[in-house]
Amino acid sequence: MSIWFLLNGMLLIWAIWNVAFGISSHASYIHILLGFAGFLLFIFNWTRNAVFSTIRNAENRQNRIRLARMSKRIRPYHRWVGTSALIIILLHGWAVIELYGFNLTNMKILTGFLASINLFVLVLSGWYRLLIDPRIRVRKLHIRLGITMFILVAIHFIF
């Protein structure tokens, strides 16, 4: 099993904890639910990285075949799930701005803003790779943007 499965699981548990705490302490919590929905879509897509990492490191051929088949079934939906995550996260950002205003000195808003820009470029690079340029350089950029997104989401949860 890949370390990414463990990290994704820990981030998911942390997100559930933040959502439960946020819902109990806010009068209006639609922005929290939108953010959580967008996060779930992102983490679903990002878990494909964990699957690929496990495929590369697995010694058992049958496990590699099983994981590759599962990933192949999910692949047609990958870009649409990412695009949906972007739309939901933009709605989350709009709801936050309506409630709290656009104040980049607030670390929660700043990290969310940076994460949303990163998610936009991440989704854009995925579509660019499909439609225009499938070279390895674009794939590596896409993976690095995914790692950056993971880190930015974790930092966003801290604040």
Q: For the segment 58-90, what is each residue's pLDDT rounded down to a tens digit?
A: 888 998 899 899 988 998 899 999 999 999 999
Q: What is the percent of the chain where pLDDT is above 90?
A: 79
Indicate yes or no: pTM above 0.85.
Answer: yes
Both tokens of 13, joined, read 């548990």
Both tokens of 92, joined, read 């989350």
DSSP states of 33-96:
HHHHHHHHHHHHHHHHHHHHHHHHH---HHHHHHHHHHHHHHHHHHHHHHHHHHHHHHHHHHHH
Q: How confident is the model at residue 1 (pLDDT cuts 50, 70, 90)?
A: low
Q: For the segment 16-54, what is each residue's pLDDT rounded down to a tens digit?
A: 999 999 898 888 899 999 999 999 999 999 998 888 888
Domain ranges of the chain: 3-158
